[in-house]
Structure formats: C-alpha cells, structure tokens
Amino acid sequence: NNVNNLEKKGFNNTISSLKVIGAPWVAYYDKNFTGKQRVFEEGEYATLEDKGRFSSLKMITDDLDDPEIQLFEHVDFQGRSVTLHRETNLHNIDFSDTASSHKVKGGVWVLYEHVNHQGDQLVSFPGDEVPSYVPLYFNDVASHVRPLLNNFFGELFN
Ligand SMILES: [Ca+2]
C-alpha cells in the first residue's frame, strides 16, 4: 500500500488535507521515502502546514511493542548515550540539541526538533541504525522523542 512516487498517481506535491484511518503513515517530501518527513496518526488533518510538499507515503505496519531507542551524542554511535523506552523530553535528561546518531532496537520512533511534538521530525523503524544525522539536516536538533503506541481501542473494535 506504500506509494513511493506520488507523481505516478497524479498527486505529487498536491496533497493539502488528509484523513488517516487505522495504521499511522509517514509522508515524505521526496520520492522513495526520503527528505523531510512527518507522521500522521489516525484522525483528520484538514489543513497541513506543509501542504503540497509530499511526494511519497509509507504505511506503518511494524511491531510497536517493546519500544527502545539508543541515542548517541556524536556520529557513528560515539560519545555519551541514552537508552529510552518511552516518550521523553530530552531537556529533562540533559540531551536536548545533542543527538547525532541512533539505533532503534524496537518500535517506531519519532524524533522532534522541539518539545510538544513541534518542528521537524525524523521517523525511524525497528532495527534502523542511523550513523549520522548530518545528511538528514537533523544534527544536534532533537529535543523530544516518542515511540508510536498501539491504538488500544482500534485493536478492540476494528
Ligand atoms: Ca551531537
């Protein structure tokens, strides 16, 4: 169900609102799941701040259980590190604007530029090892992280 190139669907850079039912999606500015990205969980998004920018879409079907991410101060998994299992304001653990690489041991994680889920996002999947945020324009900017959680009610009633 993924769409690696919205151009082929006639939708490239034209999406201005969307509605998500069920599993969350990641929308990417560039084709083939690259470039700036943003996660959309179940709900309606009538106006998008990055309206008209998305060129590919990926549905998240990964196992969300047992989330674990290890953040590193420097690229190539060097320097100080922290291991997290739940949503964390990085200011609270003296790690804001610090992370430069990470390893995801479990779950799907969203890193945010600012607290309260604001600013740019970086989405990462189970088993991902990202050795450097520099090419992703995300070096030393993450201030908040959270794992996506299973939708309890969705599981019960769908
Ligand atoms: Ca750093």
| Mean pLDDT over the full length of the chain | 89
- 38 and 82 fall within a common domain: no
Say if 82 falls within a structural domain. Answer: yes
The CATH number linked to 96 is 2.60.20.10
Under the banding of pLDDT at 50, 70 and 90, the label for residue 132 is: very high
Higher pLDDT, 43 or 13: 43
Neighbours of ion ligand 1 (CB under 5 A): 73, 100, 140
- 54 and 95 fall within a common domain: no
pLDDT digits (tens, 9 = 90+) for 24-52: 999 999 999 999 999 998 888 877 777 67
Say if 157 falls within a structural domain. Answer: no
CA dist list (Å): 136 to 85, 141, 157: 23, 11, 38
Distance 146 CA to ligand 1 centre (A): 19
pLDDT at 96 over 70: yes
Distance 132 CA to ligand 1 centre (A): 9
Say if 158 falls within a structural domain. Answer: no
pLDDT at 3 over 80: yes
Beta strands in 60-108 (DSSP E): 68-74, 78-84, 88-89, 101-106
Distance 123 CA to ligand 1 centre (A): 18
Q: Mapping DSSP to helix (H, G, I), strand (E, B) and coil, where does residue 9 land?
A: helix
Rounded CA-CA distance 22/35 in Å is 24
Distance 121 CA to ligand 1 centre (A): 17
- 109 and 140 fall within a common domain: yes
- 73 and 90 fall within a common domain: yes
- 127 and 105 fall within a common domain: yes
What range defines the domain where residue 142 resides? 68-152
- 77 and 54 fall within a common domain: no
The one-character DSSP state at 157 is H
